[in-house]
Chain A
Amino acid sequence: MSGAHWAMIGLLALGAAAIRVAGLVAGGRIRSSRHAWMLEDLPGLIVVSLVASSLIGQPLPTWLAAGVALVIAVVTNHVIATMAAGVLAFAGLTWLGL
């Protein structure tokens, strides 16, 4: 492994750790401030943004399968059931060539 490879691993690990520690410090500060409400709302907003980023630019079957997954999620509130139903819907819709 060359020096460049070592440098990349070291710097990337340092950067990732710095970001996580920044989050730890920020969390502690926010928690004891008048903005503590952010900590309750942040998870939902990040997860919704993750979902939106996965769907943007995707073809119709992916959006339809996401709709199926959403219905199952609302009804069951269960991660595995939603994954299974979503993947089945995705596979079915893709197989049908929609």
Chain B
Amino acid sequence: MRGMTHGMLRGAVSILPLAFGAALYGFAFGLLAAQVGFPWWGVGLMSASVHAGSSQIVAVEQLAATGTVLGAVLAGVALNLRYVGIVASLADVLDGLPLRVRLIAIHITGDENWALTMAERAKSPDVGAAFLMGSGLVMISVWTASTALGAVIGAVLPDLERFGLGFAFTAAFIAMARGLWRGRSRALPWAVAAGATIAAISLGAPRAYGIVAGALCGLVAISLMRRTRAAAP
């Protein structure tokens, strides 16, 4: 129990810089959602129950543009498909936990706390479900509060990109990729994944589909490498 608390606390503290960045995006999303007619508590309810930033943003934009609920929901849900892979990769981390705890853990899992957990776990195997849940609780709390607050305040935020906020996330993911690096044998599949993502987005695919396509192409590359190695004399 003490180990669990310590792990959760460690995760909660480690995610704080990323949570700060997410809060600024949360404010901006809350403002957008308020303009589409969501009250502040509705925005908070959506953030707590959906907990998928990009999905929420796209769905609300689509609702504003088209006025149709089903189309907006489908666009938002489709953007979230990478979570099949993200949650699947947590199988070892969540192994042995009761089902209700696993369901809570996957609900509070987002890009940032998942990637940080996997990167830290690659360095230190004692990082696991407690770290994931501690960091996840901070992220969902900050996301819910900041989006609701954005809807209340409704203030016009400065251009976040100008201050390098978007790039802060990119830099964080670069560091997490470094933590997940498993030797030169993965250079080719990683290059395939990056190349396929760039190709898909360049051809007009939405960013979220590009990520799914990239990860799938990387898996195919590793599978082919494994077969070639197995067939070698």
Contacts and interface: CB of A to CB of B under 8 A. Distances in A.
Interface of A: 1-2, 4-5, 7-9, 11-13, 15-24, 26-28, 30-31, 37-57, 62, 65-66, 69-70, 72-74, 77-83, 85-87, 90-91, 94
Contact of A82 (B107, B175, B182, B211): B175
Contact of B170 (A22, A30, A51): A51
Contacts of A15: 55, 73, 76-77, 80
B59 A12 contact: yes
B178 A53 contact: no
Nearest to A50: B173
Contacts of A69: 170-171, 174-175
A47 B46 contact: no
Given A27-B91, A79-B175, A41 B167 contact: no
23 contacts: A1-B37, A1-B39, A16-B83, A20-B109, A21-B106, A24-B94, A26-B87, A26-B88, A30-B91, A38-B222, A39-B92, A44-B182, A46-B89, A47-B173, A48-B218, A49-B197, A52-B197, A52-B210, A53-B214, A56-B201, A57-B201, A70-B174, A79-B119
Contacts, number: 265
A9 B49 contact: yes
A46 B63 contact: no
Given A13-B50, A45-B193, A5 B88 contact: no
Interface string B187-202: 0011001111110011
Contacts of A39: 88-89, 91-92
Q: Which 3 A-B pairs have the closest CB atoms?
A: A23-B87, A86-B171, A49-B214
B231 to A, nearest CB: 16
B226 interface: yes
A38 B223 CA distance: 9
Contacts of B49: 9, 13
A94 B218 CA distance: 33
Nearest to B43: A9
B9 interface: no
A42 B215 contact: yes
Contacts of B55: 12, 15-16
B50 A12 contact: yes
B164 A27 contact: no
Contacts of A22: 84, 87
Contacts of A4: 63, 69
Contacts of A21: 103, 106
A46 B215 contact: yes
B139 to A, nearest CB: 14
A37 B55 CA distance: 29
B115 interface: yes
A37 B164 contact: no
